[in-house]
Amino acid sequence: MGKIIAITNQKGGVGKTTTALNLSASLALANEDILVIDSDPQGNLTSGFGIKKEDMKAGLYEVYSGKASIEDAVLQTIIPNLYIIATSMDLFAAEIELLETQERENLLKLLLKPLKEKFRYIFIDCPPSFGLLTLNALVAAESVIVPVQCEYFAMEGLSILIKLLWRIRGNFNETLDIEGILLTMYNRHLALSRQIADDVRRVFKSKVYDTVIPRNVVLAESPSHGKPAVLYAPNSSGAQGYIALAKEILNENNLLF
Ligand code: ADP
Ligand code: MG
């Protein structure tokens, strides 16, 4: 049975999409069957996999609006056992159209039901906002991965997010868990980076992954080549970071069984 994990943080530019791209690819390269869903209308995850609108039979918008079945929207990526539900800018309209739908916060959860058996993990890359697209992801998910950039205001952003997650638990999804908090864009030569990492670990303890993703330009460059860094430059420090994260997640989840 697959586990649905939303990758979320209301702040933009913290590494959500980079994590969705490289973690899903690392797990797929470790022979797990993986699905990633691009739930940000900006479509950075879609283009990071080198997928263009003309490659898509249907995207997440068409699924939400009932114009296509979810099976029609599942597309194979360059990694054979890694699949994506891609997105175009049309998804901006879903945020508005969902307001008029009866199952407006439950829809993604219902739509994903037939796919849960087929994948070990389903990751949802969230937009940097608290709208209905994020709410649908958090209702569908069993847990969340929260990327946190090792920069000023990281703790403030994180405490806002934790409050939101508690509200979601209270109102919509009582078992929603924190899968892990991921420190991203870490620069070990910067005192600020080290201090933020220490602060986050002191407060959130074992919820913080041991793995830290370093700041590495390869992670920023590889999407323009339509590939995750773990394929484009597997020996780069950024790629190695995500490969280590994939191992940590597999170990943690096995221990639970
Ligand atoms: P989000 O999805 O949270 O908005 P992104 O994953 O798109 O954030 O990252 C924001 C920008 O920072 C992108 O240009 C991305 O390529 C770059 N980036 C992300 N993680 C790293 C990293 N560890 N090192 C260097 N650049 C990074
Ligand atoms: Mg993003």
**Atom number of ligand 1 nearest to Cα 186:** 23
Closest ligand to C-alpha of residue 241 is: 1
Burial class (CB in 10 A: 0-12, 13-18, 19+), 224: exposed
Query: 50 near 93, Cβ under 8 Å?
Result: no
Give strand pairing partners of 122: 4, 35
- Ligand 1 centre distance from Cα of residue 257 (Å): 33
CATH code of 3-251, in short, is 3.40.50.300
Alpha carbon of 7 to those of 52, 146, 188, 191, 214: distances in Å?
Answer: 22, 6, 24, 27, 18
Closest ligand to C-alpha of residue 236 is: 1
Each domain of the chain, given as residue ranges in start order, spans 3-251
Tokens for 169, please give them: 């638990």
Query: 49 near 78, Cβ under 8 Å?
Result: yes
According to DSSP, the β-strands at 82-85 and 74-76 are antiparallel
Decide whether any atom of ligand 1 lies within 6 Å of the 15 Cβ: yes
Report residues near ion ligand 2: CB below 5 Å: 16-17, 44
Burial class (CB in 10 A: 0-12, 13-18, 19+), 239: buried
Q: Which residue type does 75 have?
A: L
Residue 25: the pLDDT is 98
Decide whether any atom of ligand 1 lies within 6 Å of the 14 Cβ: yes
pLDDT tens for the chain, 257 residues long, are 899 999 999 999 999 999 999 999 999 999 999 999 999 999 999 999 999 999 999 999 999 999 999 999 999 999 999 999 999 999 999 999 999 988 899 999 999 999 999 999 999 999 999 999 999 999 999 999 999 999 989 999 999 999 999 999 999 999 999 999 999 999 999 999 999 999 999 999 999 999 999 999 999 999 999 999 999 999 999 999 999 999 999 998 864 43
Q: Count Cα neighbours of 92 within 13 Å in the Cβ-side half-sphere.
A: 4
Residue 82: the pLDDT is 98
Residue 257: the pLDDT is 35
Classify the complex by whether its ipTM is higher than 0.95, answering yes or no: yes
DSSP string covering 36-62: EEE--TT-HHHHHTT--GGG-S--HHH
- Ligand 1 centre distance from Cα of residue 110 (Å): 31
pTM for the model stands at 0.97
Residue 226: the pLDDT is 97
Decide whether any atom of ligand 1 lies within 6 Å of the 16 Cβ: yes
Decide whether any atom of ligand 1 lies within 6 Å of the 180 Cβ: no
